[in-house]
Amino acid sequence: MNAVEEPYVSQLDWAGRVRFETVRVPNDRIIFDPVMPEDRAVYSCVVRNAVGNATGAMFLRVKDRWAVFWPLIGIILEVIVMIVVIFVYEIKRRANKKRESE
């Protein structure tokens, strides 16, 4: 007789954000809704039956929604600083030229 156990997550409090979607054994899924930075971890799946058992592991990487903008913001700030430095240099250079010509 084949017994099918319900999937479970051990030692975690998911607050109803995680659910298992069972379609067929090869295509079962775990769904995080919504995914949060705290979900970043290594998840493993252990399957046991009369023939034997198998284990698989996967690392879930969660990126911040704004992560793509931080490099862009850095580049924009760098350009602004360069413009200010060039502007201040040009003002001082012109002031020195005026003093020298007088």
Mean pLDDT of the chain: 82
pLDDT tens track for 34-64 = 888 888 889 888 877 788 888 889 899 988 8
Q: What is the mean pLDDT of residues 66-87?
A: 94
pTM: 0.50
pLDDT of 59 reads 94
Measured on CA atoms in the order 69, 75, 78, 79, is the torsion positive or negative? negative
> Residue ranges of the domains in the chain?
1-62, 65-102
3 state SS for 31-92: EECCCCHHHCEEEEEEEECCCCEEEEEEEECCCCCCCCHHHHHHHHHHHHHHHHHHHHHHHH
